[in-house]
Structure 1
Amino acid sequence: MSRTITPPQSEFKDQVGAIALPKSTPLSDFIQETLALTRRLFIQLQRRPSTLAAGIIQPLMWLVLFGALFQNAPQGLFGDSASYGQFLGAGIIVFTAFGGALNAGLPVMFDREFGFLNRLLVAPLASRFSIVMASAIFITTLSLIQTAAIVVMSAFLGSGLPNALGLALVGLIVLMLVLAVTALSLGLAFALPGHIELIAVIFVTNLPLLFASTALVPLSFMPKWLQVVATLNPLSYAIEPIRYVYLHSDWNLGSVVVQAPWGAVTMGTSLLILLGFNVVAFLAIQPLLKRTLA
């Protein structure tokens, strides 16, 4: 009679464990760490939902109040726009995304001051860049939510709605701008001594960049010196393509979106400028992040 031979229990557990628990890789560990840190930021947001509510309500108030303020302006005063609200929508989208990304360094700065960042730096992380990546994902998600709210409100107020490809382009432009500004804000969070200095930089930067762009008025309304400044402002190259997409359904990469003092700027040129802005921002903060996270 044949007899069944069972392996020892310890050997059986080892075999099952080898099958059920595959070895982790550096990439999977990095993704897991990034998701965990991102989840922490969303839990903080869930506990303070007024932050998100204020971030959505404020640009909507700008859109409604500024649109009503200039609703009696002569048609054609703001280019091809049927109303000032339609002209203003692109500026509100970009400036809201810019303001949110500029605040991206504040949570990291508070983690520095309360000691939580030091705990992360001494923890056995697969990559400390997961700290930076989590902040970028969090801010990008909030910016896209705010952008969607502004697009819906603009359509409700009669500014129209781009087609599906146009909406995708709006999302791409917002994403490129948010990533670049978030990188600079995180660099400031590691470079400045405290949150007071970071908040001061945010306040000093916000309004000058708003008024030195084409968010509120077209380039032709500005004096010559301010036109030159506005064409050096990356926000203008995010605003004008979005505005053109709203006003023209037959846009393409060769469409001229703005007449700068140094020549015509096409849709493709604007996207290349934003891409270059991203490259410069990431290269500028890379040595600082390596030194700080080492």
Structure 2
Amino acid sequence: MTSATPTADASRTDPAAQPSEPSAFAEISQETLALTRRLFVQLQRRPSTLVAGVLQPLIWLVLFGALFANAPAGLLPGGISYGRFLGAGVIVFTAFSAALNAGLPVMFDREFGFLNRLLVAPLRSRSSIVLASVLYITSLSLVQSLAIMATAVLLGYGWPGGAGLLLVLLTLLLLVFAVTGLSLGLAFALPGHIELIAVIFVANLPLLFASTALAPLTFMPAWLGWLAAVNPLTFAIEPIRAAYAGPFSLTSVVLEAPYGQLNIATCLAVLAALAAGLFLAIRPLLDRKLS
């Protein structure tokens, strides 16, 4: 009689017969997607965040575009209409505002105790908590920005071509990564959501007005021109404005700053450096709070 023992023993020792364990990358990806899905479920239950995030910049685009519709020809650089000039600023402001609010869900999780539950859960990496917030805010910002771009088309302000659309998306991604890193750092550094909301309100409009979103540098006094020339929003607005203007190259000059000329490649490099710098700056804080 043949014994089945050798076959059973072989199945225990043969690596091919053993069920393979998921890799660390697969587990972290699964955790990140699950936490991201949770944030979208919250958005589905309370869609007012998405509606308000689209409605406010739409009002800006429609009202400001109408307000300056009869501006003299040639008033703005390149002779473009004010609506098209404003469009790039509103697109960037929409993405910036959404990213600046990235820390609020994390802050509410802190206050309601859900973050503590996540910290004691058997997560492969607690970095998935941060990655989920980044994915959620990035997706939300792009949806809102695309809605603004579609409205701009309906208002006759144009649409960037294929290469222009890629430039717009790349610029927005870099800006969103940078501001999301800042907002997440504030969410772990500040004591509560009241303080975080106060910072958001204080930072929002001053950064908008101290940029080239609403007016070119030539319209500004010297001190405000310097502020606008170093404002991160300006480094995002001008490449997008160039994408709407027509054919461009990475070496195209998009801003005559007080300290020199800026081209598209320089603006993108500044945004990339800012995003990397902010995430590196908040890394010790995240490690301490999530440990």
Give me the whole-angstrom Cα distance separating, in 2, the residues matched to 1:4 and 1:188: 70
- What is the correspondence of 1:214-229 to structure 2 with a 5 Å cutoff? 214-229=212-227
Is 2:219 the counterpart of 1:260?
no
How high is the TM-score relative to the length of structure 1?
A: 0.93
**Equivalent residues of 2:256, 2:262 under 8 A apart:** yes
1:81 Cα deviation (Å)? 4.6
1:280: which partner in 2? 277
1:13 Cα deviation (Å)? 9.8
Equivalent of 1:70 in 68, 73, 87 = 68
1:82 Cα deviation (Å)? 2.9
1:153: which partner in 2? 151
Summarize the Cα distance change of 1:52–1:21 in structure 2 as closer, same or farther, 3 Å threshold. Answer: farther
Is 2:239 the counterpart of 1:241?
yes
Give me the whole-angstrom Cα distance separating, in 2, the residues matched to 1:281 and 1:220: 30
Give me the whole-angstrom Cα distance separating, in 2, the residues matched to 1:216 and 1:171: 21
Is 2:178 the counterpart of 1:180?
yes
1:6 Cα deviation (Å)? 6.3
Equivalent of 1:140 in 138, 141, 162 = 138
Return 25-34 or 127-136, whichever deviates more.
Answer: 25-34
> Secondary structure, in 3 states, of the residue corresponding to 2:254?
strand
> Secondary structure, in 3 states, of the residue corresponding to 1:235?
helix
> For 1:44-93, what per-residue CA distance to the aligned partner results, in whole angstroms no more than 9, with x for missing partners?
01111222122112211111111001101112212125311100000001
One-letter amino acid of the counterpart of residue 201, structure 1: V
> For 1:140-190, what per-residue CA distance to the aligned partner results, in whole angstroms no more than 9, with x for missing partners?
001110111111111111111111011011000000000110011000000
How high is the TM-score relative to the length of structure 2?
A: 0.94
2:52: which partner in 1? 54
- What is the correspondence of 1:1-294 to structure 2 with a 5 Å cutoff? 21-247=19-245, 249-294=246-291
> Secondary structure, in 3 states, of the residue corresponding to 1:80?
helix
Q: What percent of counterpart residues are identical?
A: 62
Give me the whole-angstrom Cα distance separating, in 2, the residues matched to 1:163 and 1:6: 68
One-letter amino acid of the counterpart of residue 261, structure 1: P
User: Structure 2: any 5+ residue segments left out of the alignment?
Assistant: none
> For 1:198-230, what per-residue CA distance to the aligned partner results, in whole angstroms no more than 9, with x for missing partners?
000000000110010000000110000001111
Give me the whole-angstrom Cα distance separating, in 2, the residues matched to 1:20 and 1:159: 61
Summarize the Cα distance change of 1:83–1:290 in structure 2 as closer, same or farther, 3 Å threshold. Answer: same
Summarize the Cα distance change of 1:11–1:102 in structure 2 as closer, same or farther, 3 Å threshold. Answer: same
**Equivalent residues of 1:102, 1:202 under 8 A apart:** yes
Give me the whole-angstrom Cα distance separating, in 1, the residues matched to 2:225 and 2:173: 26
Summarize the Cα distance change of 1:142–1:81 in structure 2 as closer, same or farther, 3 Å threshold. Answer: farther
Give me the whole-angstrom Cα distance separating, in 2, the residues matched to 1:254 and 1:82: 21
1:11 Cα deviation (Å)? 7.9
> Secondary structure, in 3 states, of the residue corresponding to 1:252?
coil
One-letter amino acid of the counterpart of residue 84, structure 1: Y
**Equivalent residues of 1:81, 1:87 under 8 A apart:** no
Summarize the Cα distance change of 1:44–1:12 in structure 2 as closer, same or farther, 3 Å threshold. Answer: farther
> For 1:19-46, what per-residue CA distance to the aligned partner results, in whole angstroms no more than 9, with x for missing partners?
5842122111111100100000011011
